[in-house]
Structure 1
Amino acid sequence: MARPRLIVFDLDYTLWPFWVDSHHDPPFVKRCDGRVYDRQGQVVSFYPDVPRVLQRLHSEGYMLAVASRSRTPPEAHELCHLFDWDRYFTYKEIYPGSKVKHFGRFTMASGIPYEDMLFFDDEQRNIIELRSIGVTSILVSDGVTESLIKEGLETFQFNRQQHG
C-alpha cells in the first residue's frame, strides 16, 4: 500500500475553526485547566478530532507538517505550541504567500518529492495550485476529521496506482 511520506495540514479552518490573525486577541495563555485562552478570556479551540488524528498519524510513523498563509506567524506558532502539537510536526512553514513556496521548502528540507505528499486545506485555490505540481490535495469543508484522513489516504493510494 502506497503511503505518503509527508502529510501537510493548513491551520485556519482546517485544524482550528477560526483565522488566527483576526478571530482571537493575543497573547494566548494555557491555564491550569489545560485550555488555551486569548486576551479577552475566550477559549481558543480546535476541531474535535484533531488531537486524536495527529497522535494516530504520528504513532503510525507518518511525518507531519504545517503550511499556513497566516499574516501572523508568531501567533500561529504559539498556538501550535500551546496545543502541544509541536511534537507532531517535523516542518512548519507559516507566512503569507503561495503554498507552492511552502511546499518547495518542504522538498528542499526533506528531499521528499511532491507526489509523495498529502495535503489538507480548506481553500480551493490552494488545492488547485498544489494539485498542479503533483501534491495529492484534499479539500476540508468542516475541519479535519478521522473520516477525512481515511479519504485522503485512500485518494493518495489511488493517485499513486494511477501514476505509478
Structure 2
Amino acid sequence: MTQAQLNPQSFKIQLKGRRAILSFAGIILATIIMVRKAYKPVETGDDTTTATAPASEVEAPSCFSDGLPLPQVMVFDLDYTLWPFWVDTHVTGPLKPTKDGLVVKDRYNDSYGFYPDVAAILVAIKEKNLTLCAASRTQAPELAREMLSYLHVPTSPSSSSSPKALSVFDELEIYPGDKKTHFSRIHKRTNIPYEEMLFFDDESRNKNVETLGVVMKLVRDGVSRKEVDAGVKLWRERNHRMKKED
C-alpha cells in the first residue's frame, strides 16, 4: 500500500508544498532572466571614438565675432560634454598617446577623443582672452587629467605643434563632489564674479550652481558651436547684456 493510500491528507499537503516551492523557484528564475536581459554592460563602441577637427576647419561660434558682451569665464564639464564617454566607466588605464594626439588609446586599444567642434571652441575662447575652466565630478580624476595631457587641440591640419588640452585650461576642478564646490574654488582663485561665468554640462542636477549666480547651459549631445552660441545667448539674456558695450 502506498503512502498516499495510507495517509491521503498528508500526501495532499506535501504535494501542495512541493508545488508551491516549484512555483516560487519559477518566479525567481524568471526574475533572474528578466534582470539579465535588462542589464547591458558598458560597451566602448564607435560612439566613443570621435575626434575633434582642427580649429581652422570648423567655423567658430558666431558669438565670438558679433561684437556683443561675452562672459569672462567659460567652464566645461568633461564627460558627455567635451568627450562622448564616462572616463571613470568606459576607459581603462593605462592610457597610450597617439602621434597626432586626436585620440588616446586605453588598455584594450579602444580610442577616445573630443567631440568634433571642441578644438574650434577652445581656440576661439583663448583668442578672446577669456578664462577657460573644466569642472568635473568624475570618480577617476587622475585618469581624466591624463586624458587631457594626451589629447591635443589642433589648430590646423598641417600643425605639428598643437597644444595639449591640459595646457589650454586656466583652471581644472576635477574631483567627486558638488559642482558648487568646483565653482567656489574657481571664483576664489580668479576673483571673477559668478555672474561672469557660463557653464556647459549634460546633467540637470548641476543646475544648482545657478544659485551662486552662474548661468548653466544644459547640453545633451556634447558641446558644439551651436550649443556655445545658445549658451552665450542665454547668459546675455539672464544678465541683460544684449547690447554692444563701449
Which band: TM-score by shorter chain? Answer: over 0.9
Aligned equivalent of 2:43: none
Q: Does 1:3 align with 2:82?
A: no
Instruction: Give 2:184's match in structure 1, choosing from 96, 101, 104.
Output: 104
- C-alpha separation between the residues in 2 aligned to 1:80 and 1:32? 15
Q: Aligned residue for 2:88?
A: 21
TM, length-normalised to structure 1: 0.94
Residue matched to 1:44:
112
Asked whether the equivalents of residues 2 and 160 of structure 1 are also in contact (C-alpha less than 8 Å), the reply is no
Residues 90-141 of structure 1: CA distance to partner in whole angstroms, max 9, x if unpaired? 00000000000000000110001111100000000002x0112210100011
The 2-side partners of 1:110 and 1:156 are apart by: 19
In our comparison, the structure showing a higher alpha carbon Rg is: 2
- The code of the aligned residue for 1:138 comes to K
Counterpart secondary structure, 2:139: coil
Q: Which amino acid aligns with 2:132?
A: L
Deviations 1:9-55 (A, max 9, x none): 00001001111001011111112353310010011122111111111
Corresponding letter in the other structure for 2:182 = H
2:27 matched to which residue of 1? Answer: none
Amino acid aligned to 2:147 = L
Which sections of structure 2, spanning at least 5 residues, go unmatched? 1-67, 152-163, 242-246
Higher strand share: 1
Aligned to 1:18, the other structure's residue is in SS state: coil
Q: Which of the residues 125, 129, 141 maps onto 1:73? A: 141
Q: Which residue of 2 aligns with 1:54?
A: 122
Give unpaired runs (5+ residues) of structure 1: none
Aligned residue pairs, count: 161
Identity across aligned pairs (percent)? 41
4+ runs of 1 displaced by more than 3 Å? none
Worse overlay, 151-160 or 69-78? 151-160
Match of 1:116 among 168, 181, 196: 196
